[in-house]
Amino acid sequence: MHGRSVLSFFPTKKKPAATGEDDGLIRPAVNFVSKNKSMCVHLKKPSGADLWIEELENTKYDGDDDEVNAWGKFYLPEIVKMQVIGVVKGTSCPCDELVLMTREDKKLYGYDGEELHLVASSFLELCDKTIEYPASKRYYNGEAFKDMTEEDWKKVKMSDVGRKLQEEHKKLVNETQSAFVSLIS
């Protein structure tokens, strides 16, 4: 992979948002992955690791909508649109593949099944065939909520989603209450 091919799919200035769900800087990533699908790049760092350009459908998270949805909503301080660009194999990742993704800020993130790692601050690092994994900056599931105040949580609980979740919780408790009581009696 030559540096130019990777850099060329991310414009230096933000273009107007593309039509559909994809934002202006996500569309080029989608196009790049589509054109270079299944291409393998041997990384210098981490040593022995290979980057496979792939779509989400060719990762272990295909069909795992809850997990994929969480990447853009529950790890980072703000809600973002993540776009999978490939998988890295041959790392110390606790699962078989480190899923590599990007967002509008052009930074690269890797998901290892437990945490979201900021593996490269720009595509220039990827052009140099290096990523940092495990990364010094990582995010855990739920980190997006760590600074919420009591007032913020009250608003969430009073929202339509909060009330729906409360109803579902109440229903679950009622359905399992008799089985639980019989276990502890």
- pLDDT 10s digits, 62-97: 999 999 999 999 999 998 999 999 999 999 988 889
Could you read off the pLDDT of 2-48 as tens digits, one per residue?
A: 333 333 333 333 333 333 444 566 888 888 899 999 999 999 999 99
120: left (phi over 0), alpha (psi -120 to 50) or beta: beta
Is residue 118 within 8 A of residue 138, CB to CB? The reply is yes
Question: What tokens were used for 72?
Answer: 């853009």
Tokens of 85: 């660009």
DSSP code of residue 61? T
C-alpha to C-alpha distance for 104 and 78, rounded to whole angstroms: 12
What predicted TM-score, i.e. pTM, was given to this entire model? Answer: 0.74
